[in-house]
Structure 1
Amino acid sequence: MPHRRQALALALAAGLAPAVVRAQSAPAWRPTRPVRLIVPFAPGGSNDIVGRILTESVSQALGQPLVVENRAGAGSMVGAEHVARSPADGHTVLINSAHATVPAIVARMPYDAVNDFAGVAVAGFSPHVLAVNPRLPVQTAQELVALLRANPGRYNFASAGLGSGVHVAGELFRSLTGVEVEIVHYRGGGPGVAALVSGESQFGTPTMASSIGQIRGGGLRALAVLAETRSPVLPDVPSAPEAGLPRLIHEEFFPILAPAGTPAPVLASLGAAFRQAIRQNADKLREMAGVTPRDGYDTPEQVMALVREGVERYTAILRAAGVQPQ
């Protein structure tokens, strides 16, 4: 009889084992409706491009559609504030490469860039590009600087919005070179690049993601990649030091964030889905957007530490350049 009970117990254990494994590996949380990925800029910019590259893979991982929603305005603050005030239930997240730059240049913000958010993942890193309309009579960064110095106030700089990474890079360029230019704020990277291509603005420092297609197609002329070394996706474009602007280094990163107070199991599921999507689409992110994923951002704390460090770094750079918040 004991042998029979033992055999029965073993049989039951064997039958239950797959279910136990499934239960242990099953995620603690799944969305019950589509998840909105808020892009706080107009379509066509770097955040929009990166977000749309990830949507299909994230949707498959979560079992619900990930829907990109563009909420442009105030250099990303409209969309970011919307996420900060949304229910902390995992159904609204933000992708915003300007998240750490805005506090460095905007004096009165409607939210706290660190304390009102929780980290989900980091889609990757990408340098900005010094680019001009091809009709501008310059072939190098030094020729651009000479032209701008010889014509103070004549030429326009295309910004992606007040406090955007493009704006920060433009202020840094203006401070380092001493040129006088008019900064025109557009409603995101896409409209800013469109203004450069049309000639409405003559030069800018767009993100690689928003400008790489136009650079490859001849709609824009890239004079420098704002990094220490050349980018493998634009191998013929000199780095900032090679172009004679060694201090004009500006790299953006793409944090994916949820409202503060989002429960840990929800953040864990969202983070796992986005990190998996980033790994699956790493080649596409590099080739289509010039964005390089990096390891080391696996927890909410690591993501928010990067945001906090970014706020401090950009603030220090701009104050050293004499740029005060507006």
Structure 2
Amino acid sequence: MPTRRQALGLALAAGLAPSVVRAQATQTWRPDRPIRLIVPFAPGGSNDIVGRIVAEAAGQVLGQPIVVENRAGAGSVIGAEHVARAAPDGTTVLINSSHSTVPAIVARVPYRTVEDFVGVAVAGFSPHVLVASARLPAQTAQELVALLKANPGRYNLATAGIGSGVHVAAELFRSTTRVEIEPVHYRGGGPSVAALVAGEAQVGTPTMASSIGQVRGGGLRALAVLAEQRSPALPDVPSAPEAGLPALIHEEFFPILAPAGTPAPVLAALGAAFREAIGQSAPKLVEMAGVSPRAGFETPEQVMALVREGVDRYTAILRAAGVQPE
């Protein structure tokens, strides 16, 4: 039989065990090494810009640097697949505004768009912009449409790659205006905007983040913001309805995702850190990228619901434009 002291020790241990378990369960996860934020596009595009803004602040919250790593190719598929196959330990995450468009464009996606990922946060929303090379004579959206219709097949339409949100916006522009213009797919938003500035391509529907600097500097002519209302980031640029293109409404969102199977405490810590970073960085996101954070994406389920809705919407837009997966 145990002694009185042993019995007291066992009783105390039994009484303390639940509280110890509770303390362990509620203990906040913290990374023990740097986190990689995968941007599946070349530097200079909207995901790269937004990712770098929020990564710095989120890293400060978590106590470890968040390193942005560009893995461009195949319209974001290469970078997204890398994250889908990464260890679900919280040290590899993805930011990809094209995540929901890929299934509508790519016939054999090497991962499951929804099932192989879990939501962390949403960095914000931003409308695309209809832009023209400064060398084109068109000063308004209607003048651009008239120019393209008078010269079918003569001009190029730059996208950020097959399956990118810019590609979706480009196809929406072609289908709603019925112009004949050849899409040219670049390896990201930065290269596509550079091609427009150089005159290699003449028309584009880039993200506001990747083009706002060139628009403000005069390298590109913004003809319409693809939204119902004007953007505070470009207040002098008409909205799509004001520009005479009421059906040309398209905005991107920036989901931050982790590999499926990431433990709940890790997701909770990552989500809290990124949401805090997004809130702190809101003025910078608006000013530098035309990206506006929104509430309502506080749980992994809410983030993934937005991704699912995006898959349905973008697929419908591209099928209506006659685009089939390749």
Aligned-pair distance for 1:177? Answer: 1.3
Aligned-pair distance for 1:55? Answer: 1.9
SS of 2:36 mapped into structure 1: strand
Give structure 1 regions of 4+ aligned residues with deviation exceeding 4 angstroms: 23-27
Aligned-pair distance for 1:317? Answer: 2.0
SS of 1:322 mapped into structure 2: coil
Report what 2:259 is aligned to. Answer: 259
SS of 1:107 mapped into structure 2: coil
Q: Find the aligned partners of 2:178 and 2:282 in 1 and give their Cα distance.
A: 38
Q: Find the aligned partners of 1:64 and 1:115 in 2 and give their Cα distance.
A: 28
Aligned-pair distance for 1:27? Answer: 4.8
Aligned-pair distance for 1:321? Answer: 3.0
SS of 2:307 mapped into structure 1: helix
Q: How many residues are paired up?
A: 305
**Most deviating of 175-184 and 303-312:** 175-184
Letter in 2 for 1:305: A
Deviation string 1:273-296 (CA, Å, 9 cap, x unpaired) is 000000000110011100000001
Counterpart mapping for 1:34-183 below 5 A: 34-183=34-183
Deviation string 1:257-288 (CA, Å, 9 cap, x unpaired) is 00011111110000000000000001100111
CA RMSD of aligned residues (A): 1.4
SS of 1:254 mapped into structure 2: strand
Report what 2:31 is aligned to. Answer: 31
Report what 1:8 is aligned to. Answer: none
Q: Find the aligned partners of 1:169 and 1:130 in 2 and give their Cα distance.
A: 9
Aligned-pair distance for 1:68? Answer: 0.2
Aligned-pair distance for 1:201? Answer: 0.4
Preserved CA contact (<8 Å) 1:71 1:79: yes
Report what 1:211 is aligned to. Answer: 211
Q: Find the aligned partners of 1:241 and 1:107 in 2 and give their Cα distance.
A: 34
Preserved CA contact (<8 Å) 1:161 1:186: yes
Instruction: In structure 2, list runs of 5 or more residues that go unmatched.
Output: 1-19
State the TM-score, normalized to the length of structure 2. Answer: 0.91
Q: Find the aligned partners of 2:274 and 2:100 in 1 and give their Cα distance.
A: 20
SS of 1:253 mapped into structure 2: strand
Aligned-pair distance for 1:159? Answer: 0.5
Preserved CA contact (<8 Å) 2:81 2:110: yes
Preserved CA contact (<8 Å) 1:27 1:269: no
Give the percent of matched residue pairs that are identical in Structure 1 and Structure 2. Answer: 80
Aligned-pair distance for 1:26? Answer: 7.4
Report what 1:274 is aligned to. Answer: 274
Instruction: In structure 1, list runs of 5 or more residues that go unmatched.
Output: 1-19
Letter in 2 for 1:169: A
State the TM-score, normalized to the length of structure 1. Answer: 0.91
Q: Find the aligned partners of 1:251 and 1:296 in 2 and give their Cα distance.
A: 17
**Most deviating of 204-213 and 143-152:** 143-152
SS of 2:122 mapped into structure 1: strand
Deviation string 1:125-182 (CA, Å, 9 cap, x unpaired) is 0000000111101001111111111111110111100000000110111111111111
SS of 1:130 mapped into structure 2: strand
Report what 2:7 is aligned to. Answer: none
1:286 aligns with 2:286: yes
**Most deviating of 27-36 and 291-300:** 27-36
Q: Find the aligned partners of 1:214 and 1:88 in 2 and give their Cα distance.
A: 38
